[in-house]
Structure 1
Amino acid sequence: MTAFASPPDWESPANDPNDETFGDVVEPTSLEDAGAYDAVLVGEPYDGAVIGRRGASEGPTAIREQLAGVKTHHFEAGPVRSVGDLGDLRTSGDVAAVQDDLEDATAVVHDLDALPVFLGGDNSLTVPNVTPLLEIGSVGAISFDAHLDCREVHDEPTSGTPYRQLHERGLDAFAVVGARQFETASAYARYVDRQGGTIVTAADVRRDPVAALERALEAVDGVDHLYVSLDVDALDATAAPGVSAPTPGGLASVDLYRGLFRVARDDRIAGVEVVECAPPLADGDRTAAAASRAVAHVLAGHTEGKR
């Protein structure tokens, strides 16, 4: 099985004793002890399947560095606590081999009594992150993404093929939130429609964020387990330039965060990932900062949902 690297030490950069940050509360942990936490972070520093610009292998470290300075207080959920960090999964080989190896490791993580939050890494990792859940019940996926990621696999999987692969493995329900006009082929839009999936465009979210998210949740109604994926390119390119394929016309940060908080409250939530954060492609820390706050909103929603 793919091994974990030692988890990093967390330290807060705050100089005000009242400013509790995630650097104060996230604790390095082992698999043996991880079940004691409400949520655990899992790094996946791999970008060998990226179709466009690479750099997402540096995402886990950058997200952690930014999250360490984010304050833990959420006005609805209160302070977020009980978060462990398992460290990074070591990966090597071609895309198909990495997917197979990681699937064994993520199956162990899914067996824990803690919500796994995977820090990618590229979108091909969605396949091993979700596949173990298909063995234990029906699964619905909500993908916050500018793209549909349901291309056919030809020579090998890519960051554009995960939901085609997962549908072939038995994914029960699927919704995309934040899809852009003129960013997908008509054939792939028809494919999602044939699978019974729901496409919620970025324009739909801008028009009515609450109604747009409810459409996505209706698409996964009735499944046993809910998996949530955030490709950071769901955000408008001005908010997240450091991604493989930045595109204009995307989600506003406030709408994305509201949506993530809402879905993380769902008692069926079984896993979350943040992928395609590529710090070398960004202007400073802007994209990693946006991604880290997405993680914070997920953790806050999960905290609220457990009450």
Structure 2
Amino acid sequence: MSLDEPPAWDGLSGDPNDEQFGDIVEPATIDHASEFDAVLVGEPYDGAVIGRRGAREGPAALRDALAGVKTHHFDAGPVASVGDCGDVEIPDGDVSTVQEAVREITHEIHASDALPVFLGGDNSLTYPNAAPLLGDSLGVINFDAHLDCREVRGEPTSGTPYRQLHEAGLDAYACVGARHFETSTAYAEYVDEQDGEVVPSEAVGTDGPVAAVERALDAMDEVDAVYVSVDLDVLDATAAPGVSAPTPGGVSTRELFRMLRAGAADDRVAGFEIVECAPSLDIDGRTAAAGARAIAHFLSSYTGNPS
């Protein structure tokens, strides 16, 4: 199992003062990942999607959108020290085979000192992305419209990763932005049995994004490492139409960005991912633009960033 050569990055502005991610992201290898605060890893796969496919094109779309995003955050200053390790070479085979192969790569990446930023791809790869961290006491904060804790019936799907992680030893789970009427009672009860925390999207709106993340972090009290996942369907369908299952009633981009900055500031953060960006289903590039800025906001607050 290996990684494709990383793409070339270029800024899109002719103004030399207009620094963008395209100007600062550098090619990287796993062996040299520790030279960066964070490294991007693409995962072009959507073979496990329950609904509409298209997420295999997500890594390229997220990179294209991020290249033109400026690096400066008004509170944190510029983001720096980001590498790109390229895309995981996805093997032929069933979903279990893909998950096992991807886990070989993610294990190596987690062994470096850099924060891995996985560019999905579908939600089934959350399992191999986070599983190498299970040697520690691990919690996951999942920004998602759905709980994704379905039983594995035959092969895993994009709806099973958190069931798989719980069965492998996940210690804590919180879903922020879950939608009413998008999850079956049986799965809500399963998360409750695991002492998981569910913060519905309307609670984000009424209590505020920082309070929502505080509830999620409270559920992480006993863990040593935190993995953060963003399924872009957590956003309202108007902001992110290019996902497998867009629905109304989601959080706004502003709320998501604020929550990600609050979550990234926790010094236990050990991994981050953006999944379910499907550009062929998108409108005017909205979903990729939101995902790219979500990455920028997270990195601006990540404690590994010298800013």
> What's the TM-score once normalised by structure 1's chain length?
0.98
Q: Secondary structure at the match of 1:222?
A: coil
- Counterpart CA distance in 1 for 2:116 and 2:290 is 20
Q: Secondary structure at the match of 1:256?
A: helix
Q: Secondary structure at the match of 2:271?
A: strand
- Counterpart CA distance in 2 for 1:222 and 1:18 is 45
- For residue 30 of structure 1, report the CA deviation from its aligned partner: 1.2
Answer yes or no: is the 8 Å Cα contact 2:227–2:272 preserved in 1: yes
Q: Which residue of 1 aligns with 2:155?
A: 156
Gaps of 5+ in 2: none
Pair 1:146-2:145 in alignment: yes
Pair 1:271-2:271 in alignment: yes
Answer yes or no: is the 8 Å Cα contact 1:123–1:275 preserved in 2: yes
Q: Secondary structure at the match of 1:35?
A: helix
Deviation per residue, 1:39-79 (Å, 9 max, x gap): 00000000000000000000000000000000000111100
Q: Secondary structure at the match of 2:195?
A: coil
Listed as ranges, the matches of 1:192-231 within 5 Å are 192-209=191-208, 210-231=210-231
Q: Which residue of 1 aligns with 2:43?
A: 44
Pair 1:53-2:52 in alignment: yes
Q: Secondary structure at the match of 1:298?
A: helix
Q: Which residue of 2 aligns with 1:65?
A: 64
What is the identity, as a one-letter code, of the residue corresponding to 1:13?
L
What is the identity, as a one-letter code, of the residue corresponding to 2:238?
T
Listed as ranges, the matches of 1:119-130 within 5 Å are 119-130=119-130
- Counterpart CA distance in 2 for 1:293 and 1:175 is 22
Q: Which residue of 1 aligns with 2:234?
A: 234
Q: Which residue of 2 aligns with 1:169?
A: 168
Deviation per residue, 1:159-182 (Å, 9 max, x gap): 000000000000000000000010
What is the identity, as a one-letter code, of the residue corresponding to 1:173?
A
Q: Which residue of 1 aligns with 2:12?
A: 13
Answer yes or no: is the 8 Å Cα contact 2:37–2:305 preserved in 1: no
How many aligned residue pairs are there?
305
Answer yes or no: is the 8 Å Cα contact 1:267–1:306 preserved in 2: no
Answer yes or no: is the 8 Å Cα contact 1:267–1:305 preserved in 2: no
Gaps of 5+ in 1: none
Q: Secondary structure at the match of 2:35?
A: coil
- Counterpart CA distance in 2 for 1:235 and 1:187 is 24
Answer yes or no: is the 8 Å Cα contact 1:56–1:277 preserved in 2: yes
- For residue 305 of structure 1, report the CA deviation from its aligned partner: 6.2
Answer yes or no: is the 8 Å Cα contact 2:212–2:259 preserved in 1: no
Which consecutive segments of 4 or more residues in structure 1 shift more than 3 A?
303-307
Answer yes or no: is the 8 Å Cα contact 1:45–1:60 preserved in 2: yes
Answer yes or no: is the 8 Å Cα contact 1:265–1:305 preserved in 2: no
Q: Which residue of 2 aligns with 1:102?
A: 102
Deviation per residue, 1:137-158 (Å, 9 max, x gap): 1000000000000000001000
Q: Secondary structure at the match of 2:174?
A: strand
Structure 1 stretch displaced more, 14-23 or 78-87? 14-23
What is the identity, as a one-letter code, of the residue corresponding to 1:264?
A
- Counterpart CA distance in 1 for 2:273 and 2:115 is 11
What is the identity, as a one-letter code, of the residue corresponding to 2:156?
P
Q: Which residue of 2 aligns with 1:186?
A: 185
Answer yes or no: is the 8 Å Cα contact 1:123–1:162 preserved in 2: yes
- For residue 98 of structure 1, report the CA deviation from its aligned partner: 0.5
* Alignment RMSD: 1.0
Deviation per residue, 1:261-294 (Å, 9 max, x gap): 1111111010000000000001121110010000
